[in-house]
Structure 1
């Protein structure tokens, strides 16, 4: 009876995602909220945690990016990058994801990639490269940055005393194993992804958008040429102001001891959280960008970056809340059903981690929930460390905030959710990076 009920709820979640993806735009958020309402009113589930911090991070980062666009800074940045990419444009599929990975590795959160995704998309589109290729790998690379970051919640969880920290695994071990494994996996995925999908000029969705006038490739090329040859000198200062904010986020993420501290309700001296730092810094940075770049608030809210960001926020509001409501209420069911499987074949623990990360929607939650089981079953701590990147499986369903944002930022429509929901743009890159990173991690632990 319980199994049937959980399956019915899972089907409901998938149907809502399917309908929302087909409607497009904010449809995913709207139908995600319908699913949340049915789960709560129809099945009596407790509402999951609202994705407030994720939404506020998106707002703060997108406001800064949209202000940068209004000052001409985004065009300037794209133009400077285009100079490098002109003779070897295919490299955006490699360099874009590696930049996202590096940002997230240092900052400890995948949400820092929001500032890079629109830039990657615009460079690819202007150079007639299918944006799906770099965007799909970039989103996966952002997640890989978490499972290796010295400041992420997932890393803090895995090296805690009650998990691998008590078995002799320290932060240096995580960095030594997971960072090179992730780097190699991203390069491998980018190589494959660079040959997937039709060329942009042959993509029917893109051609439809061109025909309708929604996209003007001639104007895009002219704007790119203008940005390369006659950059707005004022925009340069806006770009530096933008990067100042990004650098500040990375710095405080990497060195939490420099964050402001306050006395909490328990009388303990507590550092400001990473999420709060991102929100305060990036929203304040928008003011600095406006000042030095002489931007316009009216242009900011009318630009496509702002529109795409707000679309992503609405989508995340409904979909992420629905996912959290379903998985949190059925957590015991999934843990109990997968624990029996792992007892017979220990190496299947990586599969369990992968599947559970889809359900739990968080690397840190997956570590906290499933890793004690691996320790109890006697799996080698080094093997458990090598399987760390399997906790990034939540790309499987296209409802994670970075996936939704990437789909929104791709004006060509090449980054999309397929007819069957699970056949989306991030699937190939996700599976390649998972398999390669775990394989390389096992090689590293055997060599070192």
Structure 2
């Protein structure tokens, strides 16, 4: 009887996740809250922990990133990347994804990928390199940049005091494990992609588009206009202000002894990492607006701010629903599956992978499932090595970065296959997932 009730609750949770994902935007949060209502009022489960730290970190980081966008800083960064990539056109399959990954790693958001993907596509096309090769890896690299970024919502979630932060896993651990793991995974995927598909000039779809005049092989590659030729000096200062904030976050994460200490009621405590990120990034936003001469109204109207607030609402509902369900039924999971998952931790990585497909969010996946992993007694270091598994939403080719990459490829080499799931991003996605998790396990085996 108990098993049937829990399975029924799980069916409700998964159904609401599916509905929320289909609605999109704040739909995940809204329908997640419907799930909280049903679980609390219908099944009398105690409400789970609210992901307050994660939500506030998202607000602070997105405010800084949105201010950077308003000051023209994102355009400036993209322009500098374009200059570099154009100087190395024949290595675009390696450099394109690595630059995309680096930008997302520093900015904490995958939105920079939308500006870089058309550049990568045009450079590859003009160099007679099949655009599918760099575009497929670059799209996946954007996600990998999030799982390792010191200022991403996903990293904030995993090191929060509700999750691995309480297990003595901090920012330096995430960076030490995930950054090299992602870097190696991207190189491996890029190497393999160099052998995928026919050469561009031999591709039937490309030949058809040339014959019909859709593509002119002799036309100049798309130009980056102002971002490359005449960068805004205020934008450059805004970038330095943003990077200063990121550098401070990294410094205080790597050296916790530098953080202020307080004595309250005869108890001494150190400023927590979530509080540190929130204070620094909100203060950085003020500095960015000041030196970048940006209009604060433009910051809140930009795409970065809107997407960030959507993420916060989504996490508010979906993560609270997930924690309510798993925490309320934790004794059942500990009794029935703890032994199996502890002996075969990769099964939890599989669960992370498939949950991310439904949630379309690394941070939401972390806040939804990681409490269960901790409750089941899985090693915190193993959970850290599995972090890249939350990037599984490439599996179904409807994520915005994938759709954008397909549309930016004028040659038609980046595509969705006849059976939908046989698309251009599948191979690169699985390679980077397996390699990054594997390298992560190697790092924790030797470094801890």
Size of the aligned set, in residue pairs, is 378
| Alignment-derived partner of residue 300 in structure 1 | 299
For residues 425 and 54 of structure 2, what CA distance do their matches in structure 1 show?
A: 20
Change (3 A) 1:187 1:9: farther
1:269-293, Cα deviation, whole Å (9 max, x unpaired): 2111111111111111111111111
Kindly indicate whether residue 99 of structure 2 is the aligned counterpart of residue 95 of structure 1: yes
1:304-346, Cα deviation, whole Å (9 max, x unpaired): 2222222222222222221221122122222222234369xx4
Question: How much does 1:408 deviate?
Answer: 7.3
CA contact (8 A) 1:67 1:286 kept: yes
Change (3 A) 1:393 1:338: farther
Question: How much does 1:140 deviate?
Answer: 4.0
| Alignment-derived partner of residue 330 in structure 2 | 331
1:384-409, Cα deviation, whole Å (9 max, x unpaired): 967851365455589xxxxxxx9678
CA contact (8 A) 2:51 2:367 kept: no
Question: How much does 1:349 deviate?
Answer: 3.6
Question: How much does 1:231 deviate?
Answer: 1.0
CA contact (8 A) 1:68 1:238 kept: yes
| Alignment-derived partner of residue 215 in structure 2 | none
For residues 76 and 283 of structure 2, what CA distance do their matches in structure 1 show?
A: 21
1:151-179, Cα deviation, whole Å (9 max, x unpaired): 9577777679xxxxxxxxxx999999877
CA contact (8 A) 2:17 2:32 kept: yes
Unmatched 5+ stretches in structure 1: 104-111, 161-170, 203-220, 375-383, 399-405, 416-421
**Aligned-CA RMSD value:** 4.6
SS of 1:122 mapped into structure 2: helix
Question: How much does 1:32 deviate?
Answer: 1.6
CA contact (8 A) 1:157 1:364 kept: no
CA contact (8 A) 2:48 2:321 kept: yes
CA contact (8 A) 1:363 1:391 kept: no
| Alignment-derived partner of residue 207 in structure 1 | none
TM-score (norm 2): 0.68
1:389 to 385, 388, 403: 385
Kindly indicate whether residue 344 of structure 2 is the aligned counterpart of residue 351 of structure 1: no
SS of 2:45 mapped into structure 1: coil
For residues 260 and 17 of structure 2, what CA distance do their matches in structure 1 show?
A: 40
| Alignment-derived partner of residue 211 in structure 1 | none
SS of 2:47 mapped into structure 1: coil
SS of 1:55 mapped into structure 2: helix
| Alignment-derived partner of residue 139 in structure 1 | 143
Give runs of aligned pairs for residues 227-306 of structure 1, distance below 5 A: 227-264=227-264, 266-306=265-305
Question: How much does 1:445 deviate?
Answer: 9.0
2:111 to 109, 118, 133: 118
| Alignment-derived partner of residue 416 in structure 2 | none
| Alignment-derived partner of residue 166 in structure 1 | none
1:60-84, Cα deviation, whole Å (9 max, x unpaired): 1111111112222221111111111
For residues 127 and 433 of structure 1, what CA distance do their matches in structure 2 show?
A: 19
| Alignment-derived partner of residue 320 in structure 1 | 319
SS of 1:323 mapped into structure 2: helix
For residues 172 and 253 of structure 1, what CA distance do their matches in structure 2 show?
A: 6
Kindly indicate whether residue 10 of structure 2 is the aligned counterpart of residue 17 of structure 1: no
Question: How much does 1:424 deviate?
Answer: 12
| Alignment-derived partner of residue 80 in structure 2 | 80
Question: How much does 1:23 deviate?
Answer: 1.5
CA contact (8 A) 2:96 2:120 kept: no
| Alignment-derived partner of residue 41 in structure 1 | 41
Change (3 A) 1:330 1:410: same
SS of 2:312 mapped into structure 1: helix
CA contact (8 A) 1:82 1:123 kept: yes
Change (3 A) 1:123 1:159: same
| Alignment-derived partner of residue 218 in structure 2 | none
1:133-165, Cα deviation, whole Å (9 max, x unpaired): 53544334543679999x9577777679xxxxx
TM-score (norm 1): 0.68
For residues 149 and 60 of structure 2, what CA distance do their matches in structure 1 show?
A: 21
1:3-39, Cα deviation, whole Å (9 max, x unpaired): 2222212221221121112122222222122122112
Question: How much does 1:246 deviate?
Answer: 0.9
Between 428-437 and 35-44, report the one with greater CA deviation: 428-437
Change (3 A) 1:7 1:95: farther
Change (3 A) 1:323 1:132: farther
